[in-house]
Amino acid sequence: MRSDLLKEGISRAPHRSLLKALGLTDAEMARPFIGVVCSKSDFIPGHTHLNTIADAVEAGIRNAGGVPFRFDTIGVCDGLAMNHKGMKYSLSSRELIADSVEIMLTAHPLDAVVFIPNCDKIVPGMLMAACRLNLPSIFVSGGPMMPGRDLAGGRIGLSEMFEAVGATAAGKMTECDLHRLEDSACPGCGSCSGMYTANSMNCLTEAIGMALPGNGTIPAVHAARVRLAKATGERVMELLKENIRPSDILTDKAFDNALRADMAIGCSSNTVLHLLAISYAAGRPVSLKHIDDIGKSTPQICKLNPASSVFITDLNDVGGIPSMLKELDKKGLIHRDALTVSGTVGDRMDAAPNADGDIIHFIGSPIRADGGIAVLFGNLAETGAVVKQGAVAPEMMQHTGPARVFESEEAANEAILGGKIKAGDVVVIRYEGPKGGPGMREMLSPTSNIIGMGLGSSVALITDGRFSGATRGASIGHVSPEAAAGGTIALVEEGDTIAIDIPARKLELLVDEEILAARRAAWKAPERELTGYNRRYAQHVTDAATGAVFDDLI
């Protein structure tokens, strides 16, 4: 066993004495040592209950004859980091999480690992670490939050709370009502209730085979979540006995299954960024073109909040991810033989209920013929841009309008809330990419403000930054090459015409090439004074088209 490096032989007597200082017995020394990597913190609602989840995982490990060792990672709450400098550290935390897990589990060699994430960059950071270490590994998340309530008693998620800010600025809601709404939008623990990035990644971790069924959809507050955690702790011991490792599970077939799931349930556009990064870490790199090809041939059969009034907990009630995959399998879109942490994908689908036809639409009558995410190309995004097309109003699927150019998210927000953006405009926010931000901030505030101001069906937003999974509307992000790298987005001027054609996968700046060449010759990257981790991150991060990973992975 790998943990023998800590405990076997005469030369390890000092090591054993340190372990005995922790309270370990001689009997425990003979058992497998299992890492329990938890992301608990007091900042994040999705983590409030993670000690309970971790306790259940440890109980499962002990039930199956192992000795658990728990440690926590950092984690950023994107909702709390939104719309200020803190968001520059959200995406970059993914790399720190992967690095810290690699450090801890190499410095202290254990035999297998259970990962307990919840929220945004933590899930992909841990998956990247699992790929690097290639120890028998399994995931169990903290699960989704229950929906909140609006002032009329209807169900809402965090996205509606952000949109209420725009509505208040437009005089459509009073500050008193805004305060009442903030008391009820997030009713308790769990990852925010819509198909935002955290829930998207938890669902895809299940679809890709690294978690047990239910990982993505069982509500955080249900006892079934605790039972799932205990079963996960027990299952990791079987993975160790069977010597099943991430490299056995994270194959090309597994990534295709995850991408099919992504497109079918209309996940956050951030999943593109993270699946690219995970695929590099797994040594199975996928491309934006491949992602778009999968999207074109995968029907969207679920439409969840923020794109509708259906929530992820509703999906759980009708069979969750296995039932959704089972419906896709009717057209042969799923690799049934792909291995998971518990049998094959086919085994899971065979045991799942059939689609209900309402929350999981029948594949013969999908919500849309192609997937919820589209990748656009053109002279404004030569290596790609990403849009969550499943949350775009039909009238905005094709749009041509004048550019309204802003050099930061703050400047754009001020203009939107100040009533300076009009119907037909195309808001351009640049120098917010991986290098340019640095950190590729999420743009939930400007997109929500556009919706709240009543402009969601008439204004588009384009950025080299990215969007929260809570974003809806004609919001096109991940524009690559980014402005800081001299991409065409850096050359856009106020009033230029931009043409968006999502069905045709086109994003074009309608300016003569000669004019663009002259602008390019005169362009100079803005000078920035960066310090600390942001400085190191900007030096090493690649562009969004390659997942914003560090350059040593490419």
Distance CA 78, CA 192 (A): 10
C-alpha to C-alpha distances, 379 to 255, 287, 397, 481, 514, nearest whole angstrom: 29, 19, 18, 10, 13
The arithmetic mean of pLDDT across residues 126-130, rounded, is: 98
Give 229-243 pLDDT, tens digit per residue. Answer: 999 999 999 999 999
Give 478-535 pLDDT, tens digit per residue. Answer: 999 999 999 999 999 999 999 999 999 999 999 999 999 999 999 999 988 999 999 9
Number of H helices, E strands in the chain: 22, 14
pLDDT, the chain, mean: 96
Distance CA 417, CA 170 (A): 8
Q: Of all helices (H) and strands (E), which one includes residue 59?
A: helix 50-63
What residue spans of 421-512 are helical by DSSP H?
444-452
- Whether the CB-CB separation of 67 and 27 falls below 8 Å is answered with no
pLDDT attached to residue 470: 75
Query: Position 399: which residue type?
Result: H
The per-residue DSSP string of 347-414 comes to: HHHHTSPPP-SSSS--TTS-SBSS-S-EEEEETTEEEEEEE-GGGS-GGGSEEEEEEEEESSHHHHHH
pTM of structure: 0.95
Beta strands 112-116; 148-149: pairing state: unpaired
Angle at 372 between CA 144 and CA 484, to 5 degrees: 95
Tokens in use for 88?
A: 């520059």
Tokens in use for 321?
A: 């991810």
Distance CA 268, CA 198 (A): 9
Q: What is the largest CA-CA distance in the chain?
A: 77
Distance CA 273, CA 288 (A): 9
| Catalytic residue from among 191, 268, 468, 475 | 468
Q: What's the pLDDT band for 381 if we cut at 50, 70, 90?
A: very high
Give 433-449 pLDDT, tens digit per residue. Answer: 999 999 999 988 899 89
pLDDT attached to residue 207: 98
Give 90-113 pLDDT, tens digit per residue. Answer: 999 999 999 999 999 999 999 999
- Whether the CB-CB separation of 505 and 375 falls below 8 Å is answered with yes
Percent of the chain with pLDDT over 70: 100
Asked if 268 is an active-site residue, the reply is: no
C-alpha to C-alpha distances, 263 to 30, 266, 301, nearest whole angstrom: 46, 5, 9
Q: Of all helices (H) and strands (E), which one includes residue 498?
A: strand 497-501
Q: Which residue has the tokens 């099943």?
A: 244
Distance CA 520, CA 511 (A): 13
Give 159-197 pLDDT, tens digit per residue. Answer: 899 889 888 988 999 999 999 999 999 999 999 999 999
Sequence-distant (6+) residues with CB within 8 A of 343 are none
C-alpha to C-alpha distances, 482 to 16, 62, 382, nearest whole angstrom: 52, 49, 10
3-state secondary structure of 476: strand
Distance CA 381, CA 489 (A): 8
pLDDT attached to residue 307: 87
Distance CA 61, CA 28 (A): 12
Sequence-distant (6+) residues with CB within 8 A of 18 are none
